[in-house]
């Protein structure tokens, strides 16, 4: 899986070819304007994989937060306090 860096003018002129290449290789294409990366083109499959990873990480974070909140509530009911850092 490679990474390509192309100016927007080249992407515009060869969009169909670039889409086929990105889809076939599972690669990413950074699109630049005036020498600066402005966008990324990737296959739908790769995007879905990345979003699944992000969602898994957020779910894990939410589960840990929920556990910490429940622990704090139990401590509060027993008359204690819990130092809570986010």
Do the Cβ atoms of 34 and 8 come closer than 8 Å?
A: no
Which one is predicted more confidently, 80 or 20? 20
User: pLDDT band at residue 16, thresholds of 50, 70 and 90?
Assistant: very high
With H, G, I as helix, E, B as strand and everything else as coil, classify residue 26: coil
CA neighbor of 47 nearest in space, from 18, 21, 27? 27
Which one is predicted more confidently, 18 or 67? 18
């Amino acid at each position: 899986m490679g990474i390509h860096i192309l100016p927007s003018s080249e992407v515009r002129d060869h969009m169909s070819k670039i889409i086929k290449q990105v889809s076939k290789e599972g690669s990413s294409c950074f699109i630049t304007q005036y020498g600066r990366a402005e966008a990324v083109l990737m296959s739908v499959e790769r995007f879905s994989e990345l979003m699944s990873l992000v969602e898994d990480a957020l779910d894990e974070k939410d589960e840990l937060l929920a556990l910490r909140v429940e622990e704090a509530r139990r401590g509060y009911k027993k008359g204690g306090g819990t130092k809570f850092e986010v």
